[in-house]
Amino acid sequence: MNKIKIAIQKSGRLNVDSLQILKDCGISIDNGKDQLKASSRNFPLEVFYLRNGDIPQYLRDGVVDIAIIGENVLIEKGNDISIVEKLGFSKCKVSLAIPKSANYNSVKDFQGKRIATSYPNTVDNYLSSKGVKADLHIITGSVEIAPNIGLADAICDIVSSGSTLFKNNLKEVEVMLTSEAVLAVSPKISPESTLLLDKLHFRIKSVLLARK
């Protein structure tokens, strides 16, 4: 029997809420710890636990049919991938921040500045649209430490509660975009899997309605 393949975040903030929404849809997943793949007992579905940043490529290649992923990741790496439904959880912003003690007038202040980020395309698009050119340093994690160690003048990263910025003596000065978890679909999904997606989507919509 055909099974629909869904990617969800392996570990991190989306993981728990992604599994919860499947559970609320009545889909039980046999979750062996440290397993990268799991199946459902009561819905023709296979779960692949992947790293966030890899998911857009897996969707593009049709390795997975659908994914629960942060919209911010799609905007950075997968703006060719379609969104089926916004899921209402894991809300965050992608923002530019500078040291608390620094002055700030406008986005023009970023001209020629060194910005550490894991979201180079997002920053580049945003600043270009404002006619600003900065010097981007791409790092994959713990971005907020960069100004403290002299690696950058500013950072661009996800802001959720704001506590990481606060702990690192940074202040948010520009919100580039807001994001939440979404259900995304591969451009290569088969007709058989599309039928399963329709079933799942119907259940998800009911769950979202009940959560309101």
Q: Between residues 67 and 156, which has the closer beta carbon with respect to ligand PRP?
A: 156
Kindly write out the interface string for residues 4-33 of this chain, putting x where it contacts ligand PRP by CB under 6 A and - elsewhere: --------xx--------------------
Question: By 3-state DSSP, what share of the chain in percent is helix, strand and coil, each rounded to 5?
Answer: 35, 30, 35
DSSP assignment letter at 32: -
The region of 120-128, 160-168, 195-203, 204-212 touching ligand PRP under the rule CB under 6 A is 160-168
Stretch that binds ligand PRP, among 1-9, 53-61, 126-134, 158-166 (CB under 6 A): 158-166
Q: Are strands 114-117 and 154-159 parallel, antiparallel or unpaired?
A: parallel
C-alpha torsion sign, points 66, 71, 75, 80: positive
Distance CA 171, CA 99 (A): 6
Q: How far is the CB of 165 from ligand PRP (least distance, A)?
A: 6
Dist. CA 97–CA 199, nearest whole Å? 42
- CB of 99 closer than 8 Å to CB of 169: yes
- Least distance from ligand PRP to the Cβ atom of residue 171, Å: 12
Q: H-type helices in 130-190, by residue range?
A: 163-167
Nearer to ligand PRP, 52 or 186 (CB): 52
Count, residues near ligand PRP per rule CB under 6 A: 13
Lookup: tokens for 145: 């430490």
Binding of residue 160 to ligand PRP (CB under 6 A): yes
Per CB under 6 A, the list member of 65, 71, 109, 157 interacting with ligand PRP is 157
Could you list the residues that contact ligand PRP (CB under 6 A)? 12-13, 141-142, 144, 157-164
